[in-house]
């Protein structure tokens, strides 16, 4: 990547001036008239180096640039500028940008790929719906963000192990089993029936708190292997998985492994014994806990006073299992923000028990989805928005946009819902809003899909497969490029950097920002400049090459987000 070339060349200049390059950061200026890259190294050096503190940052920047010029500026630079109080702005020349256009066309769906993660394994824990509850919109965020992160890491050459850690164990099953037994329900239930039983239990327990003890007793029986309790639990699991798999198929989501909490039940003993050997586990009111005073909160609960384990213990057992099986460099958990303290405890204890370094564990804490009017989604209160109903409605709305066939309507509808989520930073709370999802003139999935379909329409009309793209690439001295063309060239080459940055920051929204900006630039180009009817064949071919490259990058970006790119709309 050109960023690495610039960093290498600038580092050589700084070394000659005996200035540390540790503070060297290259950024893309927010305003295009400030260049393609900018660095504030002169400001950084002046504040960090006592010998340079007497230097004016602007003068130091001038000295850096003049030294670079004396060594010979690289061919990829068109212009270099120093601005107050000491920024250095760099412009790439059009010839270099055109070589990147060639790279897009040459590499196709591999453009943006990097081998930076080669030899490394990342485990990504995402989606993780709860058994006996329908797949609600609340679990949608984890599913879609986690899927996109998995796609990004694969594109960066990591070995990715995507895990669906099902919530199939815990006290809630005592509640469900109690309800089924108490109501003599022996008919085949649906997952919505199971949810109603769960909601009804909480309503009853408000008036009869002793029911909670009944639920704990049934879960204790389940843990001890009671055949009746296990049979009901197995039924709930099978009913739920059938629905989940139907939803995942519609979303195009796949996992390397689907394992429930129950899988780790017989593996918690090792964790508990390790905690006791290391003298971290202590008795407290009949329970076994690990105190973490540095977190300023309640202790981590390993074993309850009744002898039952907790999901905290099972999460630790899952870490041990994953470390033994895959030896990941990185373990990412894409789970809602309400679980933040749980993961602070989990990672702290895992490090203390020797299961990895703290930096090996990452919690991507996504915000909540709110209903219009500010209501929070909650299963206990019955205020659930079912994901399948959302997807059905999305497809209906896509048809209203003019999508005639079912397949395209599904691509547009489901893509709209996915993009509405992914365009936000994961930590952001979002309000579910149909009107913003389906706009064709704004930051939406359909807008991007339409931009891609437009590029394909232009190429179909050109019969582009019959001409040689190599002959379509023009050098700056052969053709005076229009501002709209240069604007596209100055965007396309950034895509590999954006993919890498999205991976480093666990932020698929950075890819959303990029492809939305690219689509806007292409639509401006399309509306202002003729493509197939340009003045010369050379210009026609060049603009077709631009169209091809834009379409390819839009398709690559949408693919990383898990969104389909329709050829026609």
Whether residues 86 and 175 share a domain: the answer is no
How many CB atoms within 10 Å of residue 337? 15
- Over residues 499-540, the pLDDT tens digits come to 999 999 999 999 999 999 999 999 999 999 999 999 988 899
Whether residues 424 and 275 share a domain: the answer is no
For residue 47, is it within any domain?
A: yes
CB-based burial label for 352 (10 Å; 0-12, 13-18, 19+): middle
Confidence of residue 47 (pLDDT cuts 50, 70, 90): low
CATH code, domain with 512: 1.10.730.10
- Structural domain count, the chain: 3
Whether residues 146 and 274 share a domain: the answer is yes
For residue 152, is it within any domain?
A: yes
Q: What is the pLDDT of residue 471?
A: 53
Of the residues 66, 92, 118, the one at which a domain ends: 92
Whether residues 72 and 135 share a domain: the answer is no
Whether residues 87 and 137 share a domain: the answer is no
How many CB atoms within 10 Å of residue 448? 26
Asked whether residue 39 carries a pLDDT value surpassing 60, the answer given is yes
- Over residues 172-200, the pLDDT tens digits come to 899 999 999 888 776 668 898 999 999 99
Whether residues 431 and 330 share a domain: the answer is no
| Structural domain boundaries, residue 200 | 126-370
Q: What is the pLDDT of residue 289?
A: 96
Q: Find where tokens 């081998």 sit.
A: 115
CA torsion sign for 316, 317, 320, 321 is negative
For residue 391, is it within any domain?
A: no
Q: What is the pLDDT of residue 469?
A: 57
Half-sphere exposure of 416 (CA within 13 A, CB side): 29
Q: What is the pLDDT of residue 189?
A: 82
CA torsion sign for 26, 427, 133, 263 is positive
* Phi and psi angles of residue 260, each rounded to the nearest 5 degrees, phi first: -85, 165
For residue 495, is it within any domain?
A: yes
The more confident residue out of 51 and 364 is: 364
How many CB atoms within 10 Å of residue 208? 9
Instruction: Determine what percent of the chain is predicted with pLDDT higher than 70.
Output: 92
* Mean pLDDT confidence for 51-70: 83
* Mean pLDDT confidence for 303-325: 93
Confidence of residue 380 (pLDDT cuts 50, 70, 90): very low
Q: What is the pLDDT of residue 336?
A: 94
Whether residues 416 and 366 share a domain: the answer is no
| Calpha distance 461→553 (Å, rounded) | 20
Whether residues 338 and 410 share a domain: the answer is no
DSSP 427: T
CATH code, domain with 22: 3.30.1360.70
Whether residues 543 and 473 share a domain: the answer is yes
Confidence of residue 374 (pLDDT cuts 50, 70, 90): low
For residue 511, is it within any domain?
A: yes
Asked whether residue 382 carries a pLDDT value surpassing 60, the answer given is no
Confidence of residue 379 (pLDDT cuts 50, 70, 90): very low
| Calpha distance 549→16 (Å, rounded) | 39
Q: What is the pLDDT of residue 433?
A: 83
Whether residues 138 and 272 share a domain: the answer is yes
- Over residues 434-444, the pLDDT tens digits come to 888 888 888 99
Q: What is the pLDDT of residue 470?
A: 57
* Mean pLDDT confidence for 29-35: 92
For residue 115, is it within any domain?
A: no
Q: At what angle do helices 140-155 and 537-560 cross, to 10 degrees?
A: 120
Asked whether residue 490 carries a pLDDT value surpassing 70, the answer given is yes
Whether residues 264 and 336 share a domain: the answer is yes
Whether residues 82 and 148 share a domain: the answer is no
Of the residues 370, 386, 417, the one at which a domain ends: 370
**What's the chain's average pLDDT?**
91
Contact 207, 298 (CB under 8 A): no
CATH code, domain with 315: 3.40.50.620
Of the residues 370, 389, 421, the one at which a domain ends: 370
For residue 167, is it within any domain?
A: yes
How many CB atoms within 10 Å of residue 393? 13
| H-only helix segments in 463-508 | 483-492, 495-504
E strand spans, 55-152 = 77-83, 87-92, 121-125
């Amino acid at each position: 990547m050109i960023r690495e070339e610039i960093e290498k060349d600038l580092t050589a200049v700084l070394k000659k001036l005996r200035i540390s390059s540790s503070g060297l950061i290259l950024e893309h200026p927010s305003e295009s008239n400030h260049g393609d890259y900018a660095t504030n190294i002169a400001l950084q050096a002046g504040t960090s180096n006592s010998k340079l503190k007497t230097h004016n940052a602007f003068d130091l920047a001038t000295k850096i640039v003049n030294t670079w010029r004396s060594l010979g500026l690289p061919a990829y630079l068109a212009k270099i500028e120093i601005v107050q109080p000491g920024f250095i702005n760099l412009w790439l020349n059009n010839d270099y940008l055109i070589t990147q256009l060639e790279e897009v066309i040459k590499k196709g769906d591999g453009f943006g790929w990097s081998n930076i993660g080669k030899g490394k394994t990342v485990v990504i824990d995402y989606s993780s719906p709860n058994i006996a509850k329908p797949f609600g919109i609340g679990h949608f965020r984890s599913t879609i963000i986690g899927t996109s992160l998995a796609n990004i890491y694969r594109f960066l050459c990591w070995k990715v192990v995507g895990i669906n850690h099902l919530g199939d164990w815990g006290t809630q099953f005592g509640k469900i089993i109690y309800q089924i037994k108490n109501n003599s329900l022996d008919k085949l239930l649906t997952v919505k029936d199971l949810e109603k039983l769960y909601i009804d239990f909480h309503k009853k327990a408000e008036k009869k708190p002793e029911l909670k003890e009944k639920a704990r007793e049934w879960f204790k029986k389940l843990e001890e292997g009671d055949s009746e309790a296990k049979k009901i639990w197995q039924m709930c699991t099978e009913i739920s998985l059938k629905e989940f798999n139907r939803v995942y198929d519609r979303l195009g989501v796949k996992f390397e492994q689907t394992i429930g909490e129950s899988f780790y039940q017989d593996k918690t003993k090792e964790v508990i014994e390790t905690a006791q050997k290391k003298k971290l586990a202590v008795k407290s009111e009949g329970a076994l806990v690990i105190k973490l005073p540095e977190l300023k909160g309640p202790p981590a609960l390993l074993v309850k006073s009744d002898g039952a384990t907790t999901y905290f213990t099972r999460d630790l057992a899952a870490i041990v299992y994953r470390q033994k099986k895959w030896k990941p460099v990185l373990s990412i958990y894409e789970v809602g923000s309400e679980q933040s303290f749980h993961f602070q405890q989990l990672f702290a204890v895992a490090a203390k028990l020797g299961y990895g370094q703290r930096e090996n564990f990452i919690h991507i804490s996504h915000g909540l989805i709110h209903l219009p009017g500010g209501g929070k989604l909650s299963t206990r209160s019955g205020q659930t928005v079912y994901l399948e109903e959302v997807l059905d409605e999305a497809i209906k709305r896509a048809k209203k946009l003019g999508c005639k066939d079912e397949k395209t309507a599904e691509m547009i509808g489901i893509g709209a819902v996915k993009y509405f989520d992914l365009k936000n930073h994961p930590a952001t709370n979002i309000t579910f809003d149909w009107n913003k999802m389906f706009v064709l003139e704004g930051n939406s999935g359909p807008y991007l899909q339409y931009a891609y379909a437009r590029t394909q329409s232009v190429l179909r009309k050109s019969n582009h497969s019959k001409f040689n793209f190599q002959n379509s690439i023009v050098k700056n001295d052969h053709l005076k490029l229009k501002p709209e063309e240069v604007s596209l060239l100055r965007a396309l080459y950034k895509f590999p950097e954006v993919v890498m940055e999205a991976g480093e920051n666990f932020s698929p929204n950075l890819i959303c920002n990029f492809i939305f900006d690219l689509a806007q630039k292409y639509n401006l180009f399309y509306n202002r400049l003729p493509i197939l009817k340009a003045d010369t064949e050379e210009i026609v071919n060049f603009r077709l090459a631009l169209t091809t490259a834009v379409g390819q990058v839009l398709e690559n970006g949408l693919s990383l987000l898990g969104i389909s790119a329709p050829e026609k709309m």
